């Protein structure tokens, strides 16, 4: 007797789009959704979004400690705005290592990655004393603005945001620990997750140590890029998903060979856009990076290539919290005339080639390779 062929469980969201249920009991391989994720990078997005929303709504509904429901809902709203780059790469990593059929476990792991990332962002906003993210007030601002005792509002905002970041990490762990996976794969999954997190922190710390210091070497700058972005955003999410599917050494190495240069290109493109990008498309000012005094690859190159007068101007302008449009234009001129911009574009191009070369020889299924090829194009040639 043939197995009864039920359609996959779907839910219809507010936007009217059908989505696969994150805890689908559908287990026959090659459902329409499974086929979709084999060719479309963004296909698992709705399932990741739904799982995060359901998980955090449930946390709010079942909160045992007074006050915790509000934290869960605040986190749900915060998380709703993300681009999901890391979780989508996690699902792609699972495909790249031969993952087939019901992607529910990869989606759960992907959602776990996104919650850990929420911790990083919430804490990062405290460290940068940022007032807004994604066009909305940051968590510490929201908490301070809504506190009932005005005299302690600032302190409550800071402390509450530290705690909410911690809670996001703890709930990320809960998703991780409740993702069913073969015991033989669990060790590698956990190892990649733990590594990704500690490398990010190492990169953030090195960034802190060097911010405001205009004498850092290009090697140090590239270390920040490697640990804070390349490994954390591309290499490790791919490997976490790949490990879930039981990837061997070859697949894991291919994830690195592809992910590290691509992640570096991603950050270098960010550095260029932060100063030369279109503010309207970027949704952020071109003054922020310069005012903050970030010693990006662009700045290091320019300082190395410029004469005493230009170097003096750069040192005077970079990190000036009152830097205006006119000074920013002056910095852009120096970055262009010293050849710094062109040098960074060459670095991006070189890494773009490396990532594509790695992909060409990677032992990934065709569908996963196609997706990762598109990711390279998007990352390198984006304008926002």
Q: Which residues bind a second copy (CB under 8 A)?
A: 63-68, 71, 119, 123, 126-127, 129, 149, 151-152, 155-156, 158-160, 162-163, 165-167, 169-171, 173-174, 177-178, 183, 187, 190-191, 193-194, 197-199, 201-206, 208-209, 211-213, 220, 223, 227
Tokens representing 309 are 């007068």
CB of 92 to a second copy, least distance (A): 24
CB of 49 to a second copy, least distance (A): 22
Residue nearer to a second copy on the CB measure, 221 or 306: 221
CB of 293 to a second copy, least distance (A): 9
Residue nearer to a second copy on the CB measure, 191 or 382: 191
Residue nearer to a second copy on the CB measure, 69 or 356: 69
**Per-residue H/E/C for 110-164:** HHHHHHHHHHHHHHHHHHCCCCEECCEECHHHHHHHCCCCHHHHHHHHHHHHHHH
d(CA 169, CA 166): 5
CB of 268 to a second copy, least distance (A): 19
Write the DSSP symbol of residue 2. P
- Strand boundaries in the chain, DSSP class E: 10-12, 18-20, 132-133, 136-137
* Greatest distance between any 2 Cα atoms in the chain: 84
- SS3 at position 330: helix
Residue nearer to a second copy on the CB measure, 16 or 150: 150
Residue nearer to a second copy on the CB measure, 208 or 360: 208
CB of 216 to a second copy, least distance (A): 10
What percent of the residues of the chain are helix, what percent strand, and what percent coil, each to the nearest 5?
Answer: 70, 5, 30
């Amino acid at each position: 007797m043939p197995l009864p062929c039920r359609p996959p469980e779907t839910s219809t969201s507010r936007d009217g789009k059908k989505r696969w249920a994150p805890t689908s009991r559908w287990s026959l391989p090659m459902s329409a959704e499974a086929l979709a994720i084999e060719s479309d990078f963004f296909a698992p997005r709705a399932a990741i979004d739904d799982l995060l929303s359901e998980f955090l709504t449930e946390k709010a509904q079942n909160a045992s400690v007074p006050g915790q429901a509000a934290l869960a809902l605040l986190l749900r709203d915060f998380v709703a705005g993300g681009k999901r780059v890391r979780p989508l790469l996690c699902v792609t990593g699972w495909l790249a290592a031969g993952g087939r059929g019901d992607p529910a476990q990869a989606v759960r792991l992907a959602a776990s990655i996104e919650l850990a990332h929420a911790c990083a962002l919430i804490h990062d906003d405290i460290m940068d004393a940022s007032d807004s993210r994604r066009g909305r007030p940051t968590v510490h601002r929201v908490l301070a603005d809504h506190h009932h005792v005005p005299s302690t509002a600032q302190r409550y905002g800071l402390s509450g945001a530290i705690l909410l970041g911690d809670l996001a990490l703890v709930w990320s762990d809960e998703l991780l620990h409740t993702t069913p996976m073969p015991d033989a794969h669990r060790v590698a999954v956990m190892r990649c997750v733990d590594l990704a997190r500690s490398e990010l922190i190492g990169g953030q710390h090195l960034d802190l140590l060097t911010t405001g210091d205009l004498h850092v070497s290009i090697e140090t700058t590239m270390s920040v890029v490697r640990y804070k972005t390349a490994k954390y955003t591309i290499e490790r999410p791919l490997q976490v998903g790949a490990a879930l599917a039981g990837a061997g050494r070859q697949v894991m190495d291919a994830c690195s060979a592809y992910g590290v240069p691509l992640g570096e290109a991603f950050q270098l493109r960010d550095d260029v856009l932060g100063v030369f990008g279109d503010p309207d498309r970027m949704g952020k000012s071109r003054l922020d990076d310069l005012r903050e005094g970030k010693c990006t690859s662009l700045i290091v190159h320019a300082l190395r290539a410029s004469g005493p007068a230009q170097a003096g101007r750069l040192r005077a302008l970079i990190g000036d919290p009152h830097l205006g449009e006119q000074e920013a234009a002056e910095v852009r001129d120096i970055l262009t005339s010293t050849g710094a911009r062109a040098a960074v574009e060459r670095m991006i191009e070189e890494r773009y080639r490396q990532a594509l070369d790695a992909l060409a020889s990677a032992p990934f299924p065709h569908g996963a390779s196609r997706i990762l090829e598109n990711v390279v194009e998007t990352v390198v040639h984006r304008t926002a």
